[in-house]
Amino acid sequence: MNEFTIVAFMIDISIISGLLLAGTILRAKLKWMQALFLPASMIAGFIGLAFGPSGFDWLPFSDQFSSYPGLLIAVIFAAIPIGAAKVNLKEIIHRVREMWSFSMLLTLLMWGAGALFGLIVLVPLFSDLPSGFGLILGAGFLGGHGTAAAIGEGFQYYGWDEAMDLAMTSATIGILIAVLGGLVLVKRSTEKGHTKFIQSFKDLPNELRTGLMGKTERTAMGEETVSPSSIDPLVLHISIIALVIGVSYWVSDILQKAIPAVSIPLFSIAFILALLFQVASRKVKADEYVDQRVMERIGGTATDYLVAIGIASINITVVVDYALPLALLFLFGTIWAYILFRFIGPNIFKDFWVEKSLFGWGWSTGTVAMGLALLRIVDPELKSKTTDDYALAYIGVAPFDIAIVTFAPMLVAFGFTWVIPLVLLVAGAIIIYVNRSFGLWGRRKLDQ
């Protein structure tokens, strides 16, 4: 990559912004895109891929274009803890233990099974395949392009340059599987009468199809916590994120010089520093001037740009070189995700197992946004409290999720690849055993 320039950055952002606008319009106008529930960011990414350097090469993306996901994932993770409401740990444990168990099992079993499948099936079949290839499944399916960017960056540090392209491809395919497979599951669930809030797949609100909110369905993006006469509220929130990211780069540089053999991803440092910032602001009673919804919108903005840039920057040549092992990995991932949907959800959840399991299907194959989109189909008014429970449960899931993404590339680089699936799958088995021991497993017969 040539030296980073602000001019190239502005040109890249203006092009991808135009593609995001085009994607929004196409989603609003084309019926077949509405039927697929493709997000505008994904449509923008496909257009960028087709007309960018890997396609017709009509769009003048710069050489630094593919480096943006590493920064955007840091923004996303930094926005998570800042402005978060204070929670009662005991209340969380009692209220969301089902969702925590479910989320942990999806996380551990998807990452673990993918890594194991790569080691026992793909690596022996394809002799030149890296030993960590199976982790590409979890990198893309479990967290989407954000996690893909994070783990791709980690592998790149240890010399596997193609990992970023493969992870972004996995995330893209994962979203397609999340949407297409999810729609099939929704249709089957409604036909069998398993859903609690809708009777037919046709009973979908128009905003879910077009992506445009009517005047009566619109909600506020956030609150003004400071007077614009002093500083614009949005500038305040962006300044906090920018400060955290800047300090994260500084800390990352210090750590890299101090421990050159070990790479701590930028997003991990950003998350920890953002958490410390939130604790400090709460101590001095300044946290009330940080609005969580505004922070969520900043994180959502970074996510949309990351998805679009991530897809548009995929190197097709790399994907073609790994086409067969990728296809086998994605086939296994799809079957495994369905097994988890069919057997974990019904055994864990006492109420609304279909709604909550569909949400799990969406984020375990694509992103949380895809899970929410599927949930809104079967639970338009969110009466199952699935999102509320997940938001609380994620507090207990996030450390494990971040640890996997942070240390998996390191373990692979140091030759401890087998440790990853063994630890993750054993941990998943322990969670199932504990749930069974306390009578929290086997809620209903699977044919109900």
Sequence letter at residue 378: V
Question: What pLDDT sits at residue 59?
Answer: 93
Higher local confidence (pLDDT), 394 or 423: 423
Q: What is the pLDDT of residue 444?
A: 53
Query: Hey, how many other C-beta atoms are within 10 angstroms of the C-beta on 124?
Result: 9
Average pLDDT over residues 28-35: 84
pLDDT at 153: 83
Q: Percent of the chain, pLDDT > 90?
A: 33
> 139-178 b/e with 16+ CB inside 10 Å = b?
bbbbbbbbbbbbbbbbbbbbebebbbbbbbbbbbbbbbbb
Say what percent of the chain tops pLDDT 70. Answer: 92
**Which pLDDT does position 448 carry in this prediction?**
42
Candidates 353, 376, 392, 423; CA nearest to 115 is 423
pLDDT digits (tens, 9 = 90+) for 87-115: 666 656 656 788 899 999 999 999 999 99
Task: Tell me the per-residue pLDDT of 361-375, one tens digit each, with 9 for 90 and over.
Answer: 988 897 777 787 788
Residue 75 has pLDDT above 80, yes or no: yes
How far are the Cα atoms of 22, 102, 354, 438, 444 from residue 350, in angstroms, in the given order? 43, 12, 11, 14, 8
Q: Which of 317, 24, 319, 38 is nearest to 168 (CA)?
A: 319
**What's the whole-number mean pLDDT along residues 158-169?**
89
What does the DSSP assignment read for 171-200? Answer: HHHHHHHHHHHHHHHHHHHHHTT--SS-S-
User: Mind listing the pLDDT tens digit for each residue in 303-332?
Assistant: 889 888 888 888 888 888 999 999 999 999
pLDDT tens across 398-446, in order? 788 888 988 899 899 999 999 999 999 999 999 999 988 877 776 554 4
The mean predicted confidence, pLDDT, of the chain is 85
pLDDT tens digit string along 108-137? 999 999 999 999 999 999 988 999 999 999
Span 184-201, pLDDT tens digits: 898 888 877 777 766 665
CA angle 40, 41, 44 (to 5 degrees): 85
Q: Name the residue type at position 78.
A: A
261 phi/psi in degrees, rounded to 5: -80, -15
- For the chain, how far is it from start to end, CA to CA, in angstroms? 56
CA 431 vs CA 102, 142, 239, 362, 443: distances in Å:
9, 19, 41, 22, 15
Of 420 and 252, more confident: 420
pLDDT at 275: 87
Distance, CA of 367 to CA of 114 (rounded, Å): 17
pLDDT at 12 over 80: yes
Nearest to 329 by CA among 192, 152, 168, 133: 133
Give the model's pLDDT for residue 271: 84
Give pLDDT, residue 325. Answer: 95
Looking at residue 447, its pLDDT comes to: 43
Q: pTM of the full predicted structure?
A: 0.77
Does position 161 have pLDDT exceeding 50, yes or no?
yes
How far is the C-alpha of 427 from the C-alpha of 415, rounded, in Å? 21
- The reported pLDDT for the residue numbered 446 is 45
Task: Tell whether the model's pLDDT for residue 4 goes beyond 90.
Answer: no
Q: Residue 209: is its pLDDT beyond 80?
A: no
Mean of pLDDT values over 235-261: 89
Q: How do residues 255-283 score in pLDDT, each as one tens digit? A: 888 877 666 778 778 888 998 999 899 99
Query: Lowest-confidence range among 1-15, 40-54, 276-290?
Result: 1-15
pLDDT tens string 282-308: 999 888 899 988 998 898 898 889 888
Q: How confident is the model at residue 235 (pLDDT cuts 50, 70, 90)?
A: very high
